[in-house]
Amino acid sequence: MTILWSVAILIGGAIEGLTILRQQRHRGRSRLGAWAMRAQGNLSLVAVALSGLVLWLDGARFLPGIWLLLLGHNFFALGGLAFPPMRLAGLFYQAGGLAALVPGSRPLWAMAAATALGNGWIGWGVLRERARQQARAVARESDRSGQATVEPENGVS
């Protein structure tokens, strides 16, 4: 099961890394955006290379830990730039990566738990952000409609 999962991750990581690096040439981006996407693409290719080495050394059980550590690093580093809940999710992924590397642990269970926590936290952050945006929109609309019906304060109507 770990070998099938590992091969799928290797293929997906290679496609992701190459796609990110290729798209960067075709689109204009800010310097910060370009840096972030280049870092993501490079990190994906590093993960693919490390995964290939670990598989070659017959250490497939370490792949979930390696991928969680790299993913956690990426989310933590880029989360502060993009979406703050990603930072804490990155810590969840990194903790899962460490748990997956502990001898005698069940790496795929650690990955499943870390992924559930990290993705759940990001999902909760998205819901909170949508609620904030909706509250702001309602407040703006209320302000606009309130300004149209405000009577003069001098008591003359």
Q: What is the pTM of this model?
A: 0.63
Note the pLDDT tens digit of each residue in 2-37.
Answer: 566 666 666 766 666 666 566 656 655 566 566 666
pLDDT at 118: 92
H runs (alpha helix) in 57-106? 63-82, 85-101
Kindly tell me the burial class for residue 117, based on how many C-beta atoms sit within 10 Å of its own C-beta (0-12, 13-18, 19 or more). middle
Could you write out the DSSP letters of every residue in 136-149? HHHHHHHHHHHHHS
pLDDT band at 87 (very low <50, low <70, confident <90, very high): confident
pLDDT band at 62 (very low <50, low <70, confident <90, very high): confident
Residue 28 phi, psi (nearest 5): -85, 135
Backbone dihedral region for residue 156 (phi beyond 0: left; psi -120 to 50: alpha; all else: beta): beta
> Are the C-beta atoms of 3 and 60 separated by less than 8 Å?
yes
pLDDT at 139: 87
Q: How many CB atoms lie within 10 A of CB 85?
A: 19
Separation CA 90–CA 97 (nearest Å): 10
Instruction: Give, as one character, the DSSP assignment of residue 157.
Output: -
Note the pLDDT tens digit of each residue in 124-138.
Answer: 999 999 999 999 988
Task: Please give the helix or strand (H or E) that residue 54 lies within, else none.
Answer: helix 31-56
Separation CA 40–CA 61 (nearest Å): 24
pLDDT band at 110 (very low <50, low <70, confident <90, very high): very high
